[in-house]
Amino acid sequence: MVEMELEVKLNTGTSRTSAVGQTNAQQRDVKGAVEKRKRKRLETSSVVLQETTVGVASGKSIRSLRQQTRAPTYDEDLLDAVIDQQLGGTPFPARGRKRKPLSVEKEVDVEAMIAASIGFPRESLTEEEIEAGVVASAGSLEQANYIVVRNHILAKWRENVNAWLDEDTVMESIRSQHKSLVAAAYKFLSTFGYINFGVAPAIKSRIPEEATKATVIIIGAGLAGLAAARQLLAFGHKVIVLEGRQRPGGRVYTKKMVGEGLAAAADLGGSVVTGIHGNPLGVLARQLGFPLHKIREKCPLYQPGGLPVKEEMDARVEAQFNKLLDRASKWREEMNTVADSISLGTTLETLREDAGVAVNAEERQLFDWHLANLEYANAGLLSNLSLAFWDQDDPYEMGGDHCFLPGGNVRLVAALAEGVPIFYGKTIHTIRYSSEGVQVIAGEQIFEGDMALCTAPLGVLKREAIKFEPELPVRKIDAIKRLGFGLLNKVVMLFSHPFWGAELDTFGHLAESTNRRGEFFLFYSYAAVSGGPLLLALVAGEAAINFECMPPIEAVTRVLSVLRGIYEPRGVKVPDPIQTVCTRWGGDSLCYGSYSNVAVGASGDDYDILAECVGDGRLFFAGEATNRRYPATMHGAFLSGLREAGNITTFAGSRIVSSKGERGIQKDIQSFATILVDIFKEPDLQFGCFSVVFDPQTNDLKSYVIVRLTIGKGERKEEPESSPTDQQSVHLYTIISRRQAFELLELRGGDKLRLIYLSDKLGVKLVGRRGLGVIGDGIVSVTKWNRAARKVNSPLNITPVTSFAAKTPKSQ
């Protein structure tokens, strides 16, 4: 990430502004900021939804950040009370009144609601549970009992997320006859990260000192990668994380803003915990003892000239907007599959014109604000969003309040990254996978493992910035192309004091023209959570795209013009900011955007396809764009990492148990390593720390040879046969011609100059034994058989597997 600091001359002083290319879940911060404004959602799947009415009155508790649809049995107030109790607040159900013991039926009902808040249906199994075979037959009494047990385990752990929950503790409150159901539910919930996850000391203590299971390479240290890494370490896997940036977090990035004795933490990417009920990020905050700040619902809107939007007009236009969304939902039902090829934007504009809505300038500007808010929620232009599936994730939204984390989300990232082996500055350009394992290539380095998890953002996959060998399946490539990946940008400003007041967390601003409707349309006050007087202006839709090319000075000037138009007529002076930062997520080569959406032609199925593993369980995928239920959110990214950790350990376990062929592969790999050591016991050339083995079939100076560099000791000396040098040293290899090997031998100046000769003049790379490719494999094979034949005095005529034509190998 490159940060460019610029001096910005403003009207009354000098302020420092930086254009920053940032990045993960730069999400629908408040899942639509002041919500998606979807009053009625299309009823999808088997979930029955109900409408919740939210009051409308400008400047009052109107623009609800709360989810607006839930199953009829989902009681938000009760869940609020349960969470309050878990946090040490007043016991439910009523404040100040002694809690009576719950009846068994009521307790089962509460536990079912807690499970529902986490994403489990009340009376059925999830697809994942069915695939895992948690019960012998679906729809049976066994299933009904399993669901009660499952819900109980989930609720039991959520009571105290700082403790490790084991099966024995669960059995204390379950009849012994259901022990098998407890075992099935506990295994499933533990494996896929629904319980016993996070950063509490009791959880961290479960990471074994020595890893004994398969090696996993994780690409990306965002929330998905870190969640997976911690889980896999706890499961006993060997794990390394490769991150292109010089920090963890990916698109979740908190920047420290400083100046004039003030300091504040600004979330430039993902910033809002969207719904606290069941949210795993809320679990992390509880484990760390971090309080969360509920985003207050008061969100006044201001006209382009700075005057407040009239209460009556605000209510009327919002009602009209919601009615058009209702009609759009009915249209797509009537059109059936035809809706797949129509955009939400085209539909809304057609309906608006037909209904004669927002015809004058003031109403149109207010209507455009709602459209901008919708584009913010989806990080995409309405003209690109699928009418059929743009809101396919609505039935699964997390319930409860939306919150900020005081001090920034970097606090969660830092806790997740602690103790995880992360290699920074490793931009991946190639991932190779086969039945034998994986190779992940960053620059000139090759990392090898049994399995890999790719958490690269969808924008990177769309740009084909990572090459997959072999190519990904066509269905996955098509899903990558179909899904949308949009943009949200921010202007972050540190002021000398919070001139906008302490009573607001959000306020909105209307644009004069439609094409600029998303430019600084919503402001977030971070004064209560950042440690200083910090204000963020959001840029969405078409404005976010244009913002990428806008000079930072111009951006800040425009924002200040908006703020001064609102506050100075009321006698409030708006000072120049002390420091400002402008994000440029679209130009960031490690993400190329903010978060995913369902574009025209795509559907929720594409999220599932993107999540599918390839290479017979060797290469896996995680990230917000692989989570059908919670895309475009921080918790969606985190949950996808937990999911894939479960999938990886399941595949690894089944491979060990059921695949004798896999053991054969491991033996072959070990055998190859042994053969390589054996043939270099008799090198054809030996000088300094270098050894060379020729192709025994020819004396041609153009033929290939294997060069080995031994690291970990000084100049080579004769050693007794029992010397442990091979075990203590590290060996690197490359392939050059026999002529070049003799030139290397004759070179004066020691091994350092020889290394320079190899890299600078010959342009070759040193690799591990698996990086020698087919040419190296051929030389090893031929040499092995040739020497074996010599020992028994019966020369063999060997036909090489590979033709060793004198051309530069690709690996060099």
Q: Helices 361-378 and 311-335 sit at what angle, rounded to 10 degrees?
A: 60
Q: For residue 760, what is the DSSP state? A: I
Least confident of 102-106, 154-158, 222-226, 322-326: 102-106
- Tell me the pLDDT tens digit for each residue of 148-181: 999 999 999 999 999 999 999 999 999 999 999 9
* Topology given in CATH for the domain delimited by 296-397+488-582: Polyamine Oxidase; Chain A, domain 2 (3.90.660)
Rounded to an integer, what distance in angstroms lies between the CA atom of residue 198 and that of residue 190?
12
What DSSP string runs through 33-78?
III---SSPPP-TT---EE------TTSS-S--S--EE-TT--HHH
Where is pLDDT greater, at 15 or 458? 458
Burial class (CB in 10 A: 0-12, 13-18, 19+), 321: buried
Token digits for 229?
Answer: 């890494």
Give the mean model confidence (pLDDT) for residues 683-707: 91
Helix (H) or strand (E) holding 521: strand 519-525
Least confident of 308-317, 419-428, 589-598, 785-794: 785-794
Architecture of the CATH domain 102-196: Orthogonal Bundle (1.10)
- Tell me the pLDDT tens digit for each residue of 262-274: 999 999 999 999 9
Q: Name the pLDDT band for 749 (thresholds 50, 70, 90).
A: confident
Residues whose CB falls within 8 Å of the CB of residue 202, separated by 6 or more in sequence, listed in order: 162, 163, 164
Residue 153 is predicted with a pLDDT of 97
Least confident of 72-76, 258-262, 533-537: 72-76
Residue 643 is predicted with a pLDDT of 98
Q: Name the pLDDT band for 83 (thresholds 50, 70, 90).
A: low
Residue 7 is predicted with a pLDDT of 33
- How many residues are listed for the chain in this entry? 812
Give the mean model confidence (pLDDT) for residues 462-468: 98
What DSSP string runs through 345-371?
HHHHHHHHHHHT-S-SHHHHHHHHHHH
Give the mean model confidence (pLDDT) for residues 408-423: 97
Angstrom CA distances, 484 to 292, 429, 596, 714, stand at 31, 22, 6, 56
Least confident of 30-34, 233-237, 262-266, 704-708: 30-34
Q: Do residues 24 and 270 make contact, with C-beta atoms less than 8 angstroms apart?
A: yes
> What percent of the chain is predicted at pLDDT more than 70?
80
What DSSP string runs through 301-342?
EE-TTSPBPPHHHHHHHHHHHHHHHHHHHHHHHHHGGGGGGS
Rounded to an integer, what distance in angstroms lies between the CA atom of residue 808 and that of residue 764?
9
Give the mean model confidence (pLDDT) for residues 449-466: 98
With vertex at residue 97, the alpha carbon angle to CA 95 and CA 98, rounded to the nearest 5 degrees, is: 125
Where is pLDDT greater, at 234 or 713? 234
Q: Name the pLDDT band for 788 (thresholds 50, 70, 90).
A: low
Residue 65 is predicted with a pLDDT of 27
Q: Do residues 278 and 399 make contact, with C-beta atoms less than 8 angstroms apart?
A: yes
Least confident of 80-84, 240-244, 296-300: 80-84
Rounded to an integer, what distance in angstroms lies between the CA atom of residue 428 and that of residue 441?
6
The domain spans of the chain are 102-196, 213-252+403-484+593-656, 296-397+488-582, 671-712+729-790
Residue 187 is predicted with a pLDDT of 97
Give the mean model confidence (pLDDT) for residues 412-421: 97
Q: Name the pLDDT band for 75 (thresholds 50, 70, 90).
A: low
Q: Which residues are bridge partners to 733 per DSSP?
A: 708, 767
Amino acid at 181: L
Give the mean model confidence (pLDDT) for residues 98-110: 72
Architecture of the CATH domain 213-252+403-484+593-656: 3-Layer(bba) Sandwich (3.50)
Give the mean model confidence (pLDDT) for residues 731-753: 91
What SS3 class is residue 221?
coil
Closest CA to 744 of 761, 757, 759, 731: 757
Closest CA to 306 of 546, 611, 510, 128: 510
Is residue 302 over pLDDT 90?
Answer: yes
Least confident of 57-61, 332-336, 522-526: 57-61
State the Rg of the chain over Cα. Answer: 30
